[in-house]
Amino acid sequence: MEKKREKVREHAQIGRSQETLSGKRRHRRPGAFALLALLSVLALLLQACGAAGSGRSVLADEKPESSASASPDASDSSGQTLTFGYVGGYSLIAGAEGWGIHTGIFQEELGKYGITEIKPVGFKVGPDLNEAIISGSVDIGHSGDTPAILNRAKGAKTRLISQPDIEMNSLIIVRDDGPQTVAELEGKTIAIVKGSIMHRYLVGTLAAGGVKNAKQISIGSTTTDSLAALAKGEIDAVAATDSLVYKLLEGGGYRVIDNASDHPELLATGSVVVTEDYVNKVPDIAKAWDAARTKALADLKSKPDEYYAFVSELYGLSTEAVKTLYPIEGIAEQSFSDEGIARVEGSKDFLVKEGLAAADFDINDWILR
């Protein structure tokens, strides 16, 4: 994970605040032509709040008019067809889950438990996925931990079966002529996607920095909408993921003033949840999912070039960017670890304390192994 952080800082100019603050490096605010170019880039960035994975964060917001915009049908009553929902509007996601479905490893392993088809469906943001889970149109959902926790807290009957990523980063991005520190966000306007991992991170960062009067707003339904508003000067900052701002930072004119990676307690985890209804249909689904994930991870590790090429094509990013944003070493080795469980427990406690979660619950009761 440290390798990833250093690469992001190197390629996206994160962490070089001293040079910029001293005035040695300045960028003009984007003009009309630059803004048009920026919006074109943003149209290619798709969400992952989430993610997202890993999508990581996928790390992306949304890809226009893919399966992400389609409403999945009601869940198969027999459990033979498994609808897999995830944050990020691509045809699949990165990580062991995406690779496993792409190669057929998941289909082979889950087929041993009577599952004959896996239907991947992408969603723009975590709250959209939550609604599909509650409605019963998604059997297994993959997102950041905040949406999954909030859904469980308000009564969604889900069980946590995997944490594919335990170090999902979030950050605050501004224009070069905007606030230079977290403290300078006092009285400013910051865009978020409510109920996302970035939302949870921002609340924690502002509290730690003593910022009490920053205005948090939602613009549109995705982080891409917020970044477009930042480019126009309509807001002062955006809470996003490193994957969403990678290309933007490379273009110049923007900077990151805070990273969750600098505050480990604010890092998020990836969460894969299954509905209790589906567990009733396929009681061994957690065991089956873990076996499929383990096999897929071993396979992609043995074929790193093929894996990175797959993710590069999937997200429309260069291989260099993929290795920075979706490093194989960032994929969790096991479905659960003590560190991952402690981190999701911390996220849950924080959300309850801040009044963002509707109710408290026991993480150990939520986990299904």
Residue 67 has pLDDT above 90, yes or no: no
Give the domains, in start order, of the chain with CATH numbers.
2-46+169-266 (3.40.190.10), 60-167+268-366 (3.40.190.10)
CA distance 59 to 53: 6
Closest by CA to 95, choosing from 152, 38, 57, 41, is 57
Mean pLDDT value across residues 59-73: 39
Residue 4 has pLDDT above 60, yes or no: no
Closest by CA to 300, choosing from 268, 329, 320, 258, is 329
Mean pLDDT value across residues 187-205: 94
Mean pLDDT value across residues 154-182: 97
Report the interhelical angle of 338-353 vs 145-153 (nearest 10°): 60
pLDDT at 1: 52
pLDDT at 204: 94
193 CB contacts (<8 Å, ≥6 apart)?
A: 49, 125, 126, 127, 199, 218, 221, 222, 223, 226
> In this structure, what token pair is assigned to residue 90?
């691509």
Q: Which residue has the higher pLDDT, 191 or 220?
A: 191
pLDDT at 89: 81
DSSP assignments along 37-72, one per residue: HHHHHHHH-EE-TTEEBTBTEBSEE--TTSGGGSPP
Structure confidence by residue, pLDDT tens digits, 259-300: 999 999 999 999 999 999 999 999 999 999 999 999 999 999
Structure confidence by residue, pLDDT tens digits, 178-191: 999 999 999 999 99
Residue 68 has pLDDT above 70, yes or no: no
Structure confidence by residue, pLDDT tens digits, 309-327: 999 999 999 999 999 999 9
Closest by CA to 164, choosing from 63, 273, 2, is 273
Mean pLDDT value across residues 51-70: 35
Percentage of the chain with pLDDT > 90?
71
Percentage of the chain with pLDDT > 70?
79
Q: What is the mean pLDDT of the chain?
A: 84
Q: Which residue has the higher pLDDT, 34 or 344?
A: 344
Structure confidence by residue, pLDDT tens digits, 81-110: 999 999 988 999 999 999 999 999 999 999
